[in-house]
């Protein structure tokens, strides 16, 4: 990543240094300089005050990548990434829709241990001649998408661990994404084996590797 630091160092009050921490602060310091150059949807997502709030319910950190979908509409390619919440932190899932995809790179390695999904470390959205670029660092792997614009939608999670509501009011449900997106890549099988299912008439996006 250009600004988000995935291997930062910090000094404690006692003078001792801790290395290998993650820090979005270099990115947040530079964001005001290029925010106006981002497309509207990307700008709203990047500038959301909860985006990098590690204790906030809408921080991208610790989300689990669950699905990647490809498709075409209106003569342009799109991608959709679906993330499942972390029960310790989030109340909602996240769906990111990328319209006008011109390039993408998927580099998602199989994680060690028993964790079957790729877990988000942090992400970075930057201006690009085609609109914007969105790079997401996972534990392990990375995904980078270049597109005309993106739309990030938080969706109420269907989770048995979710705390019940006692105020008598229904939770607000934010519906996002597109149904029928294809082909489908599902990340979550043992050893992170992703299966790509392409219909006969699918027009895949150009792979950027």
**pLDDT per residue over 61-95, tens digit each?**
988 898 899 999 989 999 999 988 776 676 788 99
Which pTM value belongs to this model? Answer: 0.72
What's the pLDDT tens digit per position in 96-116? 999 999 999 999 865 455 554
Compute, in degrees rounded to 10, the torsion defined by CA atoms 101, 139, 175, 189: 100
3-state secondary structure of 76: strand
Please report, for residues 141, 192, 194, the alpha-carbon distance to residue 115 in angstroms, rounded to integers and kept in the order given. Answer: 14, 9, 14
Tokens of 19: 């290395």
Q: What is the pLDDT of residue 5?
A: 87
Question: Up-side HSE of residue 200: CA atoms within 13 Å toward CB?
Answer: 0
Q: What is the pLDDT of residue 200?
A: 37
> Is residue 181 scored above 50 in pLDDT?
no
> 181, 71 in Cβ contact below 8 A?
yes
What's the pLDDT tens digit per position in 157-168? 776 665 554 344
CA distance 98 to 45: 12
Beta partners for 21?
A: 8
Buried b (16+ CB within 10 A) or exposed e, 20-36: eeebbeebeeebeeeee
């Amino acid at each position: 990543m250009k600004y988000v630091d995935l291997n930062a160092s910090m000094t404690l009050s006692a003078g001792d240094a801790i290395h290998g921490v993650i820090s979005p602060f270099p990115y947040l310091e530079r964001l005001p300089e290029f925010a106006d150059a981002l497309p509207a949807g990307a700008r709203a997502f990047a500038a959301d005050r909860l985006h990098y709030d590690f204790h906030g319910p809408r921080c991208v950190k610790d989300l689990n990548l669950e699905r990647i979908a490809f498709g075409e509409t209106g003569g342009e390619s799109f991608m959709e990434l679906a993330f499942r919440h972390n029960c310790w932190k989030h109340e909602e899932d996240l769906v990111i829709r990328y319209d006008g995809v011109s390039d993408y790179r998927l580099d998602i390695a199989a994680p060690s241990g028993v964790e079957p999904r790729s877990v988000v470390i942090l992400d970075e959205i930057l201006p690009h001649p085609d609109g914007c670029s969105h790079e997401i660092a996972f534990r392990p792997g990375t995904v980078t998408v270049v597109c005309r614009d993106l739309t990030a939608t938080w969706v109420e999670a269907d989770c048995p661990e979710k705390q019940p509501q006692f105020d008598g009011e229904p939770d607000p449900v934010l519906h996002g994404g597109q149904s029928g997106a294809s082909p489908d890549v599902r990340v979550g099988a043992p050893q992170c084996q992703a299966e790509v299912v392409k219909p006969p008439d699918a027009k895949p996006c150009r792979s950027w590797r």
